[in-house]
Amino acid sequence: MKLKLDDMYRIKMPGDLEISPDGKIIAYTVGRMDRKMNEYVSRIYIYDGKIRAFTTGPKDVAPKFTRDGKYLIYYRTLKEGGELRRISLHGGESELVAKLNNGASSIKVDGGYVYFMSSIKEKSDDDVKRIERIPFYFNGVGFLHNRKTQIFRVPVKGGKVEKLTSEENPIGDFDVLNGTIVYSVSENEKEPFMESLYLLENGKKRKISDRDASISSFNISPSGRKIAVFLRFYEKGYAEDPKLYFIDLKEGKYTLACEEPISFGRSLNSDSRFGSARVMQWINDEELLFVATISGKQELMIYTRGKFYNFVGGERSIESFSYVDGKLVFMAQEMNSPGEIYVKTNRERRITNMNRYFEKLPRGEKFSFVTSDGDTVEGWILIPEGNGPHPAVLEIHGGPKTSYGHAFMFEFYYLLSQGFAVIFTNPRGSSGYGDDFALRIRGEFGKRDYEDLIEAIEYVKANYPVDPERLFVTGGSYGGFMTNWIVGHTSIFRAAVTQRSISNQLSFWGTSDIGPWFNRDYIGAGKDLWDGFEAYWEMSPLKYAKGVKTPLLIIHSLEDYRCPVSEAYQLFYALKMNDVPTKLVLFPGENHDLSRSGKPKHREIRLREIADWFKKYV
């Protein structure tokens, strides 16, 4: 089976899983790309023994059951802002709960209220941006100087929207139980990824965390006495795995629940996701379910009696779940499938078949090799039909602390259909293999990670039918940095495509939405720009651009605030001045997430540009 670009529009992306309080009804969102509208559309479905569409769309998400199980609350995106709506589970027309001009996120239903976060924008008489704090913009959001995120609530039956917080500092997320709210706040602009936890009860707030931390996720326990928090104190570096802590709502001290660090949450790469995902939920006051990334898989884990155990595993990527009274529903992708929904009580069964079109796609063959310094690196290869030897593309993931593995990548299968073998690996720096593995490249970008990738290519050449004279390489974000680094240090690849990349660590420090903090840790190993200036330049691909011989396509989005477009401009100038075959392809109105959530037509063009560039030099 060979995929065509048109097949991108066949992908159905389930998300937003919820189970009704009595466990009898499952609600979920299905999103897809609409070619004619050139945008994403979605509807809400329910399963009560059979599947049926429950809302009309075209942009309905975030279904939540009311506590009495009579209504479904959901959010409908409009051209400007959106609406909270409710619909009876017995059917009929939906009703407006509240119109929200600035949108809503982190929607939750508690008691008789719908809680959510939304931004309040300051009014101005002109269009001048007056900025006084950092970070001042964020990828996918835009400029932050004139907006503050607050927590709101509105009665389930509709009525007045009530603002519950008046924070001057950014709110990260919140949870609510019986009207008591716990929320995270970043209070130090110089350390924006370190947060405190606050309790809001009866209109009064108090700080409950005894120290700031980088908080991945948190949940109030069913009794309301404590909170489970996955967090990092950055004792080793940004790449350290989170640990699970409990915090007593009365005492307010973090207590370590389990000594074992774990790669909490979703960090497998996929270009076929939609909607929100629950990755953490209490079963009872002593047991907790959560998603973790482990060796190229995303598994559902359980915390009980001070330890972590596998709850639901398999060679797949569990994307989200919901649990009620012994009934588990979860959504999982596989390497060759964009995602289906499963129910598990005594046994597991699949209840959807929305992506059966893709199930005939081959799975990648797993390989592993011992590196020159004695560690083990895993990878996979997709091989085209026929005897070969085949041209091959090395795909490098971003992060660097993410992974490839058993999650669906349409891009890989499209390149496979164009006649390329596709190699994807998890070199040092990746998630899911422990702290030492992830931290190995701290302060050493372009060393051990580069060696792992080159050694992966050598292993593949020796064991699979790939043509050593027709090798290609591509990657995005950190993978784009590594692509730039590779072509500056070797000419074994016939052509390369760098995407949303970093070329200059010095300019990245001062232009990226995460630059000062990311580079202080990952590049400077604790040294800021001034103390680590030489190291920053040493780890800048731009320094080595004069030695590039490999034809390089540069793809970038004009509204990328994570790896700003100036990184692409600098590299393009350097290559042109040194007579290297190159082309710069810029996407207006897109950000760092073009390959995952960009406009469908832009996603088509991007994939076509990549394939055409490789075929030009094949």
What pLDDT is stored for residue 37 in this prediction? Answer: 96
Give the chain's length. 618
What is the pTM (predicted TM-score) of this model? 0.97
Is 87 in a helix, a strand, or coil?
Answer: strand
Architecture in CATH for domain 13-122+151-160: 6 Propeller (2.120)
Asked if residues 498 and 553 have their Cβ atoms less than 8 Å apart, the reply is: yes
Asked if residues 453 and 427 have their Cβ atoms less than 8 Å apart, the reply is: yes
What CATH number does the domain located at 365-616 have? Answer: 3.40.50.1820
Among 55, 32, 158, 118, which residue's Cα sits nearest to residue 63? 55
Low-confidence ranges of the chain (pLDDT < 50): none
Asked if residues 150 and 118 have their Cβ atoms less than 8 Å apart, the reply is: yes
What pLDDT is stored for residue 210 in this prediction? Answer: 87
Asked if residues 495 and 616 have their Cβ atoms less than 8 Å apart, the reply is: yes
Asked if residues 28 and 12 have their Cβ atoms less than 8 Å apart, the reply is: no
Q: Tokens 């009872």 sit at which residue?
A: 284
For the chain, which residues make up each domain, given as ranges?
13-122+151-160, 164-255, 262-361, 365-616
What pLDDT is stored for residue 490 in this prediction? Answer: 98
What pLDDT is stored for residue 253 in this prediction? Answer: 85
What pLDDT is stored for residue 251 in this prediction? Answer: 78
What pLDDT is stored for residue 436 in this prediction? Answer: 97
What pLDDT is stored for residue 446 in this prediction? Answer: 97
The three state secondary structure string of 339-368 is: EEEEEECCCEEECCCCCHHHCCCCCCEEEE
